[in-house]
Chain A
């Protein structure tokens, strides 16, 4: 295989969470959002690589890191083998001529006070006009720039260009605005375009037209795309390979065809299953993952998907807070909450890594320990087998789990999966 156009190696992007003076005095260490937490992938020349996941999984952070809008905490980004992880000012200018971003909302990407022609012209003034030899020269005259913008508008289907040049974004439809944004990006002759949800804001009846337009541009200009979306159906249509992201990690990556034909990771399966089918004769009961995507400041231990996973094993990373979540869910039933009142309230429980504990004060801790054991055995599922010990120390009830099995990406039937099932 030839050298990939883009290679991302073990990329980590953490954001610090602001903590007040008192909170810092009280300790607990620095809180960080683990937006991207060890992601590796590569994109070959001419390929469409899709990053698919729900909000907060880190896909947009990756896009921003690639064009230098966000700084990587660690890891490497190589463009044609050249390290572009932390470019200086001049280097950044160069990176952005080669990697360009198309945002989700073209309305927000265009200044409302600037005609769309000027929006494109501005970029050409700053970066120069691309020549056929692949370098750039500064324009001799404004007329030359205007002519170049006309050429670009013609290329992206805004015809006649002179008609569109003096329009303001508000006078154009969503699809037309997205074409202006595409034109502005193409004016730099980039090699890689990062398209972050490029059709999410468009109406269904015109979405297909935009996708076809993007694919047409790709063929005409020999582009490579990183296509970022939450929509697995759209990704299936445009991507050659996809990576499924969950909470800062890629959980499954491989050829799109392979993954759609037979998804392996339980999260990929859940995502596929959740897509509504526009055929009422095929309604079926869906088994959905429990709860929501957890907070990325304290991602779950072991496999990050384990608390929600319908196929979780005892070795997937069960820990103290999972017990508390189980009790909380159980006590949504007012009747159960009353019957098991001696173990509550939920706020009195405390999680610390593999341990969950509750100081019972004057209540009999042994009775509570026995109750917790029954609850976990009855409704804890795979969590029950992960419990190492439920014990009483003084007045405190302690639930302790075994350490999880280490999680490493594995090659499974033509794709790479990060899951202990394989």
Chain B
């Protein structure tokens, strides 16, 4: 299996007037080509920052360390122009709210023409439209929608159009940051089924960033659980859900409310502030299995069990 993306010791710190916010810290993550990697965590855990860091879409006050290797190149060492050329062509991203990503003053057709000509300025608008029709058919959107404005379309149609825009250049990796959070359950399931069939057709890997453990369980090949800017646990989906190792993963899974829930559970406490330096395990104050070592020594990632799962916990 070949890797499409390799993150090594990736850290992102936002410089603020109150000090550095360590949004992502020392993350190692490998995504195999053609696979779905689920990145789960709660608000503020750094999962969106991680997604944007890969595309170098972070604001100016963000400082990045480590490496992001994509197709044999380290994205952090490329110039802004080189990254811009990769973005949308080899690496694409969709976001939570498709309405805010489409220009309300532009017809759908112009979004396609603009995107195509940004990478291939020579393409004639008529040819660009032909390509648009092809990808629209792949995401099951009738081509008459090309003449419409974003506000004339439903939320599901807009997200399909965002996906179609990403498909134009057949990217090797699609980063989907909460792609269905603004949608209802039925639409959510429809969009993810669509993504799944398209990624096979286009031989594309997906980094699915979400807070929804159910979605990850249904669609991801591997799962990375993020807490306080770090990866707490990472491994193949089936064993990870069967036997979660990190106390945070265990707590998170127990707190899911599904149709079979008989007893409510919440992880005690609140996530820590990422401002300033910290020592010890970030989950220490909320952990039900904490030991004295956890307070002062940061748990390095170790490989645990038969599936050689990565777990950052002193229990193992």
Alpha-carbon distance between A205 and B185 when the two chains are bound, in angstroms: 20
CA distance A204 to B258 in the complex (A): 11
Give the residues in chain A near B190, CB-CB below 8 Å: 288
Residue pair A278, B189 in contact (C-beta under 8 Å): no
Q: State whether A205 touches B214 (Cβ < 8 A).
A: no
Which of B64-72, B117-125, B263-271 faces chain A?
B263-271
Residues of A within 8 A of B242 (CB): 281
Residue B86 at the A interface, CB < 8 A? no
Contact B266 A275 (CB under 8 A): no
B252 near A204 with CB under 8 A, answer yes
B189 touches A205 (CB 8 A): no
Does A211 touch B at the CB level, under 8 Å? yes
Contact flags B65-92 to A (C-beta < 8 A → 1, else 0): 0000000000000000000000000000
With A237-B257, A279-B217, A292-B156 in contact, do A206 and B186 touch (Cβ < 8 Å)? no
Q: Which of B141-167 contact A (CB under 8 A)?
A: 141-142, 144, 154-157
* Stretch in A35-43, A76-84, A328-336 touching the partner: A328-336
- Known interface pairs A208-B265, A288-B189; A283-B218 also in contact (CB < 8 Å): yes
Set of chain B residues within 8 Å of A62, measured between Cβ atoms: none
Instruction: Say which one of A127-135, A159-167, A227-235, A400-408 lies at the interface with B.
Output: A227-235
Chain A residues in 8 Å Cβ range of B238: 280-281
Question: For chain B, which range describes its interface: under 10, 10 to 19, 20 to 34, or 35 or more residues?
Answer: 35 or more
CB < 8 Å: which of B252, B259, B270 contacts A233?
A: B259
Q: Which residues of B lie under 8 Å from residue A293 when comparing CB positions?
A: 154, 184
Partner of A54, one of B134, B184, B253, B258: B184
- Taking the complex as formed, is B16 at the interface, i.e. its CB lies under 8 A from any CB of chain A? no
Whether A206 pairs with B267 at a CB distance below 8 angstroms is yes
Contact of A270 among B186, B193, B237 (CB under 8 A): B186
Q: Are A233 and B218 in contact (CB under 8 A)?
A: no
Residue of B nearest to A282 (CB): B217
* A-B contacts, 30 listed (Cβ < 8 Å): A54-B186, A54-B187, A203-B211, A204-B213, A204-B255, A204-B257, A206-B270, A208-B257, A208-B265, A211-B264, A230-B184, A230-B185, A233-B257, A236-B261, A274-B186, A275-B185, A276-B214, A276-B215, A277-B218, A280-B217, A280-B238, A280-B241, A283-B218, A288-B186, A288-B189, A288-B190, A292-B154, A333-B137, A334-B134, A334-B137
Residues of chain A having any CB pair with chain B under 8 Å = 54-55, 173, 175, 203-209, 211-212, 230-234, 236-237, 260, 270-272, 274-281, 283, 286, 288-289, 292-293, 328, 331-334, 345-347
